A and B are shown apart, each in its own frame.
Chain A
Amino acid sequence: EPEVTQTPSHQVTQMGQEVILRCVPISNHLYFYWYRQILGQKVEFLVSFYNNEISEKSEIFDDQFSVERPDGSNFTLKIRSTKLEDSAMYFCASSTARVGLQETQYFGPGTRLLVL
């Protein structure tokens, strides 16, 4: 069964450094998402991406964040200058269409980011 994959599984970085989290969505999916989960808290939506542009973003997704689909398979989340509060699990998800069109989002295993 096709799966969403994410790399790396864990990343440790110094405050102020740039990080890039990578995701390979399910191949026939068209919508891509990033969520984050701070330890002990709920999963929060960051951004959705469709047709090579951001479809929607939350208040969390400020100028520090950017997303890109550099090729036909990868979907990346870049944090330009990491802060301590960016430490979290980051989940990538994909779907064939938006939830409103009766489609389900399938999640990857997550990348645990620790900012020191």
Chain B
Amino acid sequence: AQTVTQSQPEMSVQEAETVTLSCTYDTSESDYYLFWYKQPPSRQMILVIRQEAYKQQNATENRFSVNFQKAAKSFSLKISDSQLGDAAMYFCAYGSGGGADGLTFGKGTHLIIQP
């Protein structure tokens, strides 16, 4: 079974600074997908970014980018120019390429933005 580990329960960053959230995973599959979801206080789960394991290039979405290290099974999220609206829980999730339908989530990192 796959596991996803987020070792940082909480992170704090000054507004306009850069922060990196860590995620590691364990799998024996070669085909899979990785996601970062954001959950603001409203509790809505919002997709931030996704990465296909077969792609070597790291995914980017505006101020959000990932550092995908397949051999190390690491998938960190970098948020540049942090904004107050980035304050939320961030969940790393794993999706199987050919097996299970359901996503496997980490426990989440609570990101605090200091004004």
Contact = CB atoms under 8 A, between A and B. Distances in A.
Contacts of B33: 99-100, 102
8 contacts: A35-B102, A45-B101, A56-B102, A58-B102, A98-B101, A99-B96, A107-B44, A107-B46
Q: In the A-B complex, list the 3 residue pairs whose CB atoms are closest, starting with the nearest.
A: A45-B102, A99-B95, A107-B45
A110 B42 CA distance: 9
A99 B31 CA distance: 11
Contacts, number: 69
Interface stretch (B11-19, B20-28, B66-74, B105-113): B105-113
B90 interface: no
Given A42-B106, A99-B95, A100-B96, A31 B101 contact: yes
A97 to B, nearest CB: 10
Nearest to A95: B101
Interface residues of B, number: 28
A104 B102 contact: no
B84 interface: no
Contacts of B107: 41-42
Given A89-B43, A100-B96, A107-B37, A42 B102 contact: no
Interface residues of A, number: 28
Given A99-B96, A109-B42, A44 B105 contact: yes
B91 interface: yes
Contacts of B100: 45, 56
A12 to B, nearest CB: 17
Contact of B44 (A43, A45, A109): A109
Interface string A73-116: 00000000000000001010100001110101111111010000
